[in-house]
Structure 1
Amino acid sequence: MLTSTLCAALSAAGLGIAAMTAYRKRFLAATRIAAYALVPLGLAMTGIADWISDLVFKPSVWLGFGVLAVSALLFVICRAVERRSEEGGTRKERRAAAAAQRAALAPEASAPSLGGAQAPAQQPRRKAKAKTSGGGDEFADIEAILKKHGI
């Protein structure tokens, strides 16, 4: 009952402002204000205003939202644990698998740096660059760094 009265008062005030705006010959703005002013009255007449006020002012509704939030949090935690267990066992197993994968990739990755996989036409260019740049010391340092990091 209080909600309906409040909505009617808001609508009446809005329509009064719209009438004053129309008196000033600003009809488009007055029409827009009247449209906004009729919304609370429409909500009160359909009963949505009472539902919204019950939603906002009842503690049991807020407790219900809290229960829903806890439920959603439990779903997220459960899914994260399932995903983690699907990825593969314990941390030791995952570390061993990652180390094996790195070991399998390292020989292939270091082969081009040694010059074994290059075409014969490219090898003389590399030697010429090494001679012109001052020697193979720079390349040896680079290769050592790459080998250190397993590349």
Structure 2
Amino acid sequence: MLTSTVCAAVSAAGLGIAALTAYRKRFLAATRIAAFALIPIGLVMTGVIDWVTSIVFKPTVWAGFGVLALSAVLFAIGRLAERRRGIPGRKERRAAAGSGAPAVAPTASAPSLGSAQKATKAPKATAAPGADVAPKDDFSDIEAILKKHGI
């Protein structure tokens, strides 16, 4: 009831300001002010204000927000601990499964956790034998171009 009265007063004041602005021949600004002034009374008439006040002033609603915040914090702590221990996340497990490496699901028991971590690490890629050896005459192309131009 009190919120309806306050919203009506705010709308009336806004419409008064819009009327004064229109009197000064600033019709575009007056139109915008009138549009903003009608929002509070429109919210009261649709029942949104009563809904908002019932949410804001109920302690159980705030307790619910607190529980949701606690849940988010616990989820973030769990993800942080998972990253620090080196347990692969969902993306890493999918990438390992897609590349042909054996995907090992993390187990719940603590002693076998270390073996699961070692099994999920991908083997190091090694170069083919002789691939890192540079050719003996790596400037032969450059020499051929210089000879062609007479240098």
Give me the TM-score of the superposition, normalised by structure 1.
Answer: 0.60
Q: Does residue 114 of structure 1 match 2:133? A: yes
> Residue 64 of structure 1 aligns to a residue in which SS?
helix
Identify which range, 48-57 or 29-38, moves more after superposition.
Answer: 48-57
What is the CA–CA distance in structure 1 between the aligned matches of 2:88 and 2:11, rounded to whole Å?
A: 54
What is the CA–CA distance in structure 2 between the aligned matches of 1:95 and 1:47, rounded to whole Å?
A: 60
What is the CA–CA distance in structure 1 between the aligned matches of 2:127 and 2:88, rounded to whole Å?
A: 32
Which of 110, 117, 120 is matched with 1:94 structurally? 117
What is the CA–CA distance in structure 2 between the aligned matches of 1:92 and 1:83, rounded to whole Å?
A: 13
The structure showing larger relative contact order (alpha-carbon pairs under 8 Å, at least 6 residues apart) is 1
Identity among equivalent pairs (%): 53
Q: Does residue 22 of structure 1 match 2:22? A: yes
More helix by share: 1
Unaligned runs of 5+ in 1: 116-122, 129-151
- Computed over aligned residues only, the root mean square deviation of the Cα atoms, in angstroms, reads 3.4
What is the CA–CA distance in structure 1 between the aligned matches of 2:137 and 2:115, rounded to whole Å?
A: 46
Identify which range, 55-64 or 26-35, moves more after superposition.
Answer: 55-64
Note the 1:15-94 alignment, pairs <5 A. 15-72=15-72, 77=78, 84=89, 88=104, 89=106, 90-94=113-117
What is the CA–CA distance in structure 1 between the aligned matches of 2:119 and 2:60, rounded to whole Å?
A: 52
> Residue 126 of structure 1 aligns to a residue in which SS?
coil
- Select the structure of larger CA radius of gyration: 1
The one-character-per-residue Cα deviations of 1:29-79 (angstroms, maximum 9, x if unpaired) are 10110010000001111111111122223322111222233445566759x
Unaligned runs of 5+ in 2: 94-102, 107-112, 141-151
The count of corresponding residues between Structure 1 and Structure 2 is: 117
What amino acid does structure 1 have at the position aligned with 2:13?
A
Identify which range, 2-11 or 48-57, moves more after superposition.
Answer: 48-57
What is the CA–CA distance in structure 1 between the aligned matches of 2:75 and 2:28, rounded to whole Å?
A: 51
